[in-house]
Amino acid sequence: MSKFIALDFGAESGRAVLGKIKNEKLSIEELHRFANRQVKVHGHIYWDLLNLFDELKNGLAKAANNGHKDISGVGVDTWGVDFGLVDRDDHFIGNPYAYRDPRTDGVMDKAFEIVSRREIYEYTGIQFMQLNSIFQLFSMVLSDHPWLQIARRLLFMPDLIAFLMTGEKNFEYTMASTSQLLNARSKTWETNLFAKLGLPIELMSSLIQPGTVAGKLLREVADDTGMPQVDVIAPGSHDTASAVAAVPAKGSNWAYLSSGTWSLLGIETQEPIISKDSLKYNFTNEGGIDNTIRFLRNTMGLWLLQGCRKSWARQGTEMSYAELVEIANDVSPFTCIIDPDDPGFLNPADMPTAILEYCSQKGQKPPQSKGEFVRSIFESLALKYRHIIERINSMREESIETLHIVGGGSQNEMLNQFAANATGLPVIAGPVEATAIGNILVQAIAKNELHSLQEGRELVANSFPLKKYKPRDVSLWNEFYETAKEIFIS
């Protein structure tokens, strides 16, 4: 039996997950789960890095206390684009900014005054979002941020956390690819962008590939947790790269949807797709496992529901996600259709208010009850999925025949069924803990416990329950999709 630990940090929560491979089966056990908080100070939003590192050590300590010191490796994955800075003495500089921080407001347009949107996309093939690393770093250059004066290395979040564990400073490829600073074809830093925008390229270094041993657990971390100095292995350090690695698919005519705070919907290709249409439709080409490209659209996901839930909790109504789905079952369909990618939903002070304002601007009947809010969010997400799939089909010869939904959102049976209804495709949901599972698969390949990504996917299909959904009420969904197409901005 081989054992690995995935340290999976999401935008809302983190977890330490133990994976065991035995008798051609993979089993997982959640050892530790914790909240990931964004902290607002003087108008800026930060991640609490020290707390995250402390929780990481709590997870490793629980592994040791539960008799799992005999692990073969540890891997870290996180959300994309965010980074921290390290000085010449290997001290990290301040808490990393969170991607929803307003420092990037208006920065994309300032960058386009220097380098055109088309030129940036031709280099990087990355979807334009103001939260991308390129615009975060450019905002610091524009403001002459004092941290840049003392920084000697920029480290993306999983690389930064791995540095705290090992003392080694690395740039893992799948994570670096989200930055919009990497050339999608050469898979190296795009020096023209650094030069034209005045970005400090001296903060970067060469890349490592998924499956590389990034270092060993520092003695002090081992002593604090009771673990041996095991190998820290770079998985697909961007959480979506790990999640896609765990998609239990065969063949080529399938799409994946990593469903959580964000919805990431796309296909796996061997080469980037960089064209007028992919630029027009704002698709991204991110690095995947085994030299693949994840050609996808990053669209707002269950963030809208999370925002409503938090707002209602502040008003005194605490509801679980299961309870929210239940009340959505009791209301009529299609109260309103919203575009999940409307800028007003990126970081509103109050999500229900933002939805009401959106409906007013679009001349739609606003949701009245909590159930109508929830159902409208799910219906709108499902219609957006169809919109994205149709655009993928228009840019390739083969059409998508199956949609695999993985991640925490794959537990949402209502949204899964709506996705099947809206797209007209069969949907296969699961596994839920896809990111941690993909993290573990890459570690197992690195240690020769598995021989290929496809073997890992077959292991997933044989190890975890999957649920299938067939399309229903297709004509009704076709009717409302015609309305949705008119309001979707991208």
315 in the same domain as 169: no
272 in the same domain as 231: no
20-34 b/e (C-beta count within 10 Å ≥ 16 → b): bbeeeebebeebbeb
Q: Does residue 442 form part of some domain?
A: no
pLDDT at 64: 98
275 in the same domain as 202: no
Query: Catalytic: which of 239, 339, 341, 342?
Result: 239
Q: Does residue 436 form part of some domain?
A: no
Q: Does residue 441 form part of some domain?
A: no
Q: Does residue 437 form part of some domain?
A: no
148 in the same domain as 83: yes
197 in the same domain as 273: no
Residue where one domain finishes, among candidates 213, 237, 261: 237
Q: Does residue 315 form part of some domain?
A: yes
Q: Does residue 439 form part of some domain?
A: no
pLDDT at 252: 85
258 in the same domain as 196: no
338 in the same domain as 458: yes
Q: Does residue 444 form part of some domain?
A: no
Q: Does residue 256 form part of some domain?
A: yes
Residue where one domain finishes, among candidates 210, 237, 264: 237
Q: Are strands 83-87 and 73-77 parallel, antiparallel or unpaired?
A: unpaired
Backbone torsion region of residue 185, taken as left when φ is above 0, otherwise alpha when ψ lies between -120 and 50, otherwise beta? alpha
385 in the same domain as 270: yes
270 in the same domain as 130: no
296 in the same domain as 204: no
Q: What is the CATH classification number for the domain harbouring 388?
A: 3.30.420.40
Residue where one domain finishes, among candidates 216, 237, 258: 237
Which residue positions in the chain have pLDDT lower than 50? none
Is residue 266 within 8 Å of 392, Cβ to Cβ? yes
Residue 90 annotated as catalytic: no
213 in the same domain as 155: yes
122 in the same domain as 15: yes
> Which domain does 96 fall in, by range?
2-237
Structure tokens at 482: 């015609």
pLDDT at 393: 97
Q: Provide the number of structural domains found in the chain.
A: 2
State the Cα torsion 91-93-94-100 to the nearest 10°: -130
pLDDT tens per residue across span 429-483: 999 999 999 999 999 999 999 999 999 999 999 999 999 999 999 999 999 999 9
pLDDT at 166: 98
